[in-house]
Amino acid sequence: MSSRSVFSALMGVYILVFFAYLFGPLVVMGLTAFNTPAYPQVYPFEAFTLDWFATLFADADMMYGLRKSVLIGVLVVLVSVPVGLAGAMMMTQVHARARSFYYLVVVSPVLTPGVIIGISTVVFWRQTTQMTGLKFFYDGTVLTVLAQSSFISAYTMLIFLARLQRFDHTLEEAALDLGASRAQVFRNILIPFMMPAIGSASAIAFLSSFENYNTTTFAILADKTLVTVLAGRLRQGTTPALSALAVTIVAVTVCGAILYEYLKRREAREADRRALNASRAELADLNAVAQDAA
């Protein structure tokens, strides 16, 4: 056997072990959601049950947390998508000498531990609201949205920067030349161009917000989100209802992923069809010219 094939066999084994490490714990957890014992276990598997899902959905705290998480997620999307877009558009316009400083400031939240973002947000707004008397602002939901958006905006900004790099600025000029105002150029040209990035940035913003714990646990104050409720439960002890929650989350995201993949494939097919049309039209043009000449 050549050394090359030994290597590839070793590599195959390694990849298998790696993915076993990646999925094993999750599969085990998923199975415990369907096993009857009150303590999450797969072995021995006593009997199949869906009761843990019922327990989960009957849990008022969890359901409250879920609604709160969704609300916060939506608000974070509404804040971080426009802010990230503005941050990305600003990048090329900041004076060249200040650009690296600007970059440092706006990506720093990505490199700052989440707990610190949560703590600093709470500390700042507690002082500010006490000084200014804007008490309603010192609220778990508001602070969580602000704290999460501070780093999620940096994520969305990076997504927008990548897309902006492929933006052809002559499109802007073409629109201006046809009489559009700057605002119309922004609305009719830039935003539609950014739409795919806005879609993926929204998804990423929502998911990052929904699953965030480190920042939220500080910023949420006395309120609670699904993840903080979950963390509280885990500290009290473990039950298969939590596995059921995980299974539900995975099921929902897998559905989302399948939908996304489906849409993407459809879009790709459409693009192929258009490219085919284009080459047909090209051929027809050439034929017409050739006939003219003849």
Partner 1 sequence: MTSAVALDHVSIRFGSFTAVDDASLDIAPGEFFSFLGPSGCGKTTLLRTISGFVEPSEGVVRIDGKDMRGIGSNQRPTALIFQNLALFPMMSVAENIVYGLRVRGMGKSERMKVADRLLDLIALPGQGNKRIDELSGGQKQRVAIARALAVEPKVLLLDEPLSALDLKLRQHMRSELKEIQRRVGITFIYITHDQGEALTMSDRIAVMDRGVIQQIGDGRTLYNHPRTAFVASFVGETNILAGKVATAEGELAEVATAHGPLSGANARKLMSGSDAMLFIRPESLRLTAPGAGAIRGTIVGSAFEGHVTHVSLVAADGSKLTVSVNGEAARLVPEPGAEVGLVYRPEEAIILPSEGYAHA
Partner 2 sequence: MHSSIGQVVIYVIPAMVLAWFGWLAWRDRRDPANAGRQGFVARNGWPVAGFLVIAVGFWTIFMIVLPLFSMIDLSFRPKLPPPQWGGPKDFYTLDNYRYFLFGSTTSTAAWNVTHLTAFALTILTSIAITALDFVICYPIAYYMAKVARPNRLRLMMLMLIAPYWVNEILRAFAFRILFSSQGIINNVLMASGLIDQPVDFLAADVALYAGLAYAYLLMMMFALYNALDTLDGNLIEAARDLGAPWWHIHAFIAIPHAKPGIASGSTLVFMLTAGSLAAPLVLGGPRSLWFTPIVYDRFYQAFNWQQGAAYALILLVACVVFVLGVLRLFKLGLAEIAR
Question: Nearest approach, Cβ of 202 to partner 1 (angstroms)?
Answer: 18
Using CA atoms, how far apart are residues 194 and 291, in angstroms rounded to an integer? 43
Q: In the set 91, 171, 207, 231, which binds partner 1 (CB under 8 A)? A: 171
- Residue 97 binding partner per list partner 2, partner 1, none, with a CB distance cut-off of 5 to 8 Å that depends on partner kind: partner 2
> Which residue number, 153 or 202, has a Cβ lying nearer to partner 2?
153
Candidates 9-17, 68-76, 94-102, 269-277: pick the segment binding partner 1 (CB under 8 A): 269-277
Q: Which of 103, 137, 186, 193 binds partner 1 (CB under 8 A)?
A: 193
* Residue 237 Rama label (left phi>0; alpha psi -120 to 50; beta): left
Give 46 or 173: the residue with its C-beta nearer to partner 1.
173
Q: By CB under 8 A, is residue 170 in contact with partner 1?
A: yes
Instruction: Return the residue of 180, 207, 231, 246 that touches partner 1, per CB under 8 A.
Output: 180
Closest CA to 138 of 128, 147, 151: 128
The reply on whether position 174 binds partner 1 by CB under 8 A is yes
Contact 200, 159 (CB under 8 A): yes
Of 64-72, 142-150, 187-195, 238-246: span binding partner 1 (CB under 8 A): 187-195
Distance of alpha carbon 184 from alpha carbon 43, whole angstroms: 63
222 binds, among partner 2, partner 1, none (CB under 5 to 8 A by kind): none
Spatial distance between the Cα atoms of 143 and 125, rounded to a whole number of angstroms: 8
- The footprint of partner 1 on this chain (CB under 8 A) covers a number of residues equal to 33
CB of 96 or CB of 290, closer to partner 2: 96
Q: How far apart are CA 245 and CA 53, in angstroms?
A: 7
Please name the residues in contact with 185: beta carbons below 8 A apart, sequence gap of 6 or more: 172, 175, 176
Q: Which long-range contacts (CB under 8 A, 24 or more apart) does 195-200 make?
A: 196/163, 197/159, 197/160, 197/162, 197/163, 198/81, 198/85, 200/159
C-alpha to C-alpha distances, 29 to 12, 38, 225, 272, nearest whole angstrom: 26, 13, 22, 42
Residue 2 in contact with partner 1, rule: CB under 8 A: no
Residues that bind partner 1 (CB under 8 A): 168, 170-171, 173-181, 184, 188-189, 192-193, 195, 271, 274-275, 277-279, 281-282, 284-286, 289-290, 292-293
